[in-house]
Chains A and B, each alone.
Chain A
Amino acid sequence: DAGVIQSPRHEVTEMGQEVTLRCKPISGHNSLFWYRQTMMRGLELLIYFNNNVPIDDSGMPEDRFSAKMPNASFSTLKIQPSEPRDSAVYFCASGDVYEQYFGPGTRLTVT
Chain B
Amino acid sequence: AQSVTQPDIHITVSEGASLELRCNYSYGATPYLFWYVQSPGQGLQLLLKYFSGDTLVQGIKGFEAEFKRSQSSFNLRKPSVHWSDAAEYFCAVGMFSGGYNKLIFGAGTRLAVHP
A residues with CB within 8 A of B: 4, 31, 42-43, 45, 48, 50, 55-56, 91, 93, 97-105
Minimum CB–CB distance for A17 against chain B, Å: 24
- Contact: B103 with A98, CB < 8 Å? no
Contact with A along B87-115 (1 / 0, CB 8 A): 00010001010111111011110000000
Report the nearest B residue to A3, measured CB to CB.
B43
Q: Which residues of B contact A103 (CB under 8 A)?
A: 43
How distant is the Cα of A98 from the Cα of B36 in the complex, in angstroms? 14
How distant is the Cα of A31 from the Cα of B99 in the complex, in angstroms? 11
- Contact: B100 with A56, CB < 8 Å? yes
- Contact: B101 with A102, CB < 8 Å? no
- Contact: A98 with B51, CB < 8 Å? yes
How distant is the Cα of A98 from the Cα of B102 in the complex, in angstroms? 8
Q: Which residues of A contact B90 (CB under 8 A)?
A: 43
Report the nearest B residue to A41, measured CB to CB.
B107
Q: Which residues of B contact A99 (CB under 8 A)?
A: 46, 49, 101
Query: Interface size (B, Cβ < 8 Å)?
Result: 23
Q: Which residues of B contact A105 (CB under 8 A)?
A: 42-43
Minimum CB–CB distance for A75 against chain B, Å: 15
The 8 Å CB contact of B44, one of A45, A91, A98, is A91
- Contact: A97 with B43, CB < 8 Å? no
Residue in B32, B45, B90, B102 with the greatest tally of chain A CB atoms within 10 Å: B102
- Contact: B105 with A42, CB < 8 Å? yes
How distant is the Cα of A74 from the Cα of B106 in the complex, in angstroms? 29
Report the nearest A residue to B102, measured CB to CB.
A45
Minimum CB–CB distance for A105 against chain B, Å: 5
- Contact: A98 with B101, CB < 8 Å? yes
Q: Which residues of A contact B36 (CB under 8 A)?
A: 102
- Contact: A55 with B98, CB < 8 Å? yes
Report the nearest A residue to B108, measured CB to CB.
A42
Q: Which residues of A contact B45 (CB under 8 A)?
A: 102
How distant is the Cα of A81 from the Cα of B106 in the complex, in angstroms? 30
Q: Which residues of A contact B98 (CB under 8 A)?
A: 55-56
Report the nearest A residue to B45, measured CB to CB.
A102
